[in-house]
Structure 1
Amino acid sequence: MRVRRVGASALLIECRGGEQVEAWRRELWRRREAGELQVAEIVPGAHTILLDGVDPGLVQELVTWPPPDSISRDQGPLVEVPTVFDGEDLADVARIWNVSGPEAIDLLAGTEFTVAFCGFAPGFAYMRGLGEKFGVPRLDTPRPRVPTGSVGLAGEYCGIYPTASPGGWRLVGRTAKTLFDVREEPPALLGPGTRVRLVPA
């Protein structure tokens, strides 16, 4: 782990990978809830965590903290997402995985995903769970429009498009579940740490 100052009131924790990011995110949230950490925002990424609104002097304290356990003991909330597995790229994904179409669906439906971080668009959650073994490359040419609710894969991540937008992820299914609503609190259904299951609909 490496900690760097960013601007006047932010710190960036650089981690080895997604598991270490998730471990530190849980630990930082725990310390904030316990009143041990004063911070405005904790923003996880693929390999980093940004702490915004903190005393830059915290950098010296952070490096003395023991590394958090990478094995999750605090389970996040579970959200089940009804999914129709009929994506345009499902056959290609099955071919990349060297399995049949039904086996690919069983693998996706049998995986408990965890939201690692959010980005790209409001409410778009990058979900880990498949692992690098089942990583798939993005499309060579992104689609100009991916429909709302499309379930896609890119690299080791699974994601669901909360709104229609361009995108290069390989589409494996779709859902009618609302993922982002400004009238809700929080607006995004899937936040970091949330567990997600794609339930065949």
Structure 2
Amino acid sequence: MLCIWDSSPLPNKPSNWHKKGYHASLDGHVRDLWHWKAIRTNDMMLADDNYFGAPITPRTGERRYTAGYQTDGKESGAYIMNWQWYKKDAIIPRRLPNPSTKYSTEEVLPWFGSTPYQTQHDTYPLGTTLPSVLYRSNRFEGDRADVRAHAQYADGRWHLEMARKNDTHSDKDVALKSGVCLWVAAFDGAQIAHTHHMQGIKLAYQGDKAL
């Protein structure tokens, strides 16, 4: 896998604004990525099934070029971020909670517990924290939903469990078998400046004659 620390690490590809490089696979092999997200996917009981592949062709007008970091395909399901766009000194949300809606900034804002943003309804003081994620349909279905995951927060720590079939028969997934290595990394809103798990976890299935 390639990760070059430069603002424009790939020839003829857009530079990135954070200057922390890109993720991409340049050897023709997919790297599977199970991306659990505390707010965006935990209530779905899923991890977002993604992958690192070859750098894609840039699309005119796209907000963020992600090179080889891509999501698996899906049949339905989605979440969206609760902002229209950033301004220099503020963020305008897509939707505001209904007056009767009890919400937590650490939870998803229900679509039917909110209304489209209108200036006359924005009575929140500047600096108010609102939920940043909206569910507008059901959870992911299809290839992107192959990884079941759920976590609970207790005693200052997240306790996370994940599960997936050994072989999903998807060309975007790596089949799990003895000898396959896994790595763990914490992102925490850091773009690609995440932690690095140096020593991989090598799978060894009990009873596997290949061991």
TM-score, structure 2 length as denominator?
A: 0.21
Quick check: which has more Rg, 1 or 2?
2
Q: Which has the higher contact order (CA 8 A, sep 6+)?
A: 1
Structure ranking higher in strand proportion: 1
